[in-house]
């Protein structure tokens, strides 16, 4: 998948995902977007590094618990990685069981649907439980431009520079 990264496909997918983010169903959206990203990329850690940094920054900026956002990200990433045909764990399991791709997917489908349904209910309940502070979606727009920076630079900007700048404080108020 390095070709996708170099060609801008991953950046475009993340930008498209962040464009549709809704703060009132934030945790459910994070879970589902991490799940879809992991199924597309075939790697849980890769999807966490691609979409995790902007989502954690948005959660931090919006005043939502970052622990819950991290839980939604990790849950979605590992559920998606489990059933992605691009995943190495899926291919390893397929080789060990001597099954073709479609037969293995049929075997994994019931537990995958149950896991997605139960996790979706859990994170929808978390969205109802946590009050969303009145924040504009300007941080989401700011985070979309961070896709072109390195991960360490994005982390530095999200957690150390922007929360203390006067301009960014003005955007959150």
pLDDT digits (tens, 9 = 90+) for 13-71: 777 777 777 788 889 999 999 998 888 888 888 888 888 888 888 888 788 889 999 99
* The pair of three-digit structure tokens given for residue 64, joined into one six-digit string: 């939502």
Question: For tokens 């977007």, what's the residue?
Answer: 33
Instruction: Report the alpha-carbon distance of residue 70 to residue 48 in Å, rounded.
Output: 9
pTM over 0.85: no
Higher per-residue confidence, 8 vs 100: 100
- Cβ distance 51 to 12 under 8 Å? no
- Kindly tell me the burial class for residue 162, based on how many C-beta atoms sit within 10 Å of its own C-beta (0-12, 13-18, 19 or more): buried
Instruction: Report the alpha-carbon distance of residue 59 to residue 39 in Å, rounded.
Output: 23
Q: How do residues 131-166 score in pLDDT, each as one tens digit?
A: 766 555 544 445 544 544 445 444 544 554 444 444
Cβ neighbours of residue 33 closer than 8 Å, sequence gap 6 or more: 17, 51, 55, 76
């Amino acid at each position: 998948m390095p070709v996708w990264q170099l060609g801008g496909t991953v950046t475009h997918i993340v930008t498209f995902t962040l464009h549709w983010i809704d703060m009132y169903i934030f945790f459910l959206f994070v879970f589902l977007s991490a799940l879809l990203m992991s199924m597309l990329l075939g790697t849980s850690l890769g999807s966490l590094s691609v979409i995790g940094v902007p989502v954690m920054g948005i959660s931090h900026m919006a005043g939502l618990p970052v622990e819950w956002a991290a839980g939604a990200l990790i849950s979605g990433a590992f559920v998606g990685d489990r059933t992605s045909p691009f995943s190495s764990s899926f291919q390893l399991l397929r080789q060990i069981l001597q099954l073709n791709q479609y037969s293995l997917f049929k075997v994994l489908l019931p537990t995958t649907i149950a896991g997605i349904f139960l996790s979706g209910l859990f994170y929808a309940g978390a969205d109802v439980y946590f009050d969303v502070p009145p924040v504009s979606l300007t941080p989401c727009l700011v985070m979309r431009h961070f896709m072109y920076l390195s991960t360490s630079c994005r982390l530095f900007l999200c957690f150390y520079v922007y929360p203390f700048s006067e301009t960014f404080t003005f955007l959150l108020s």
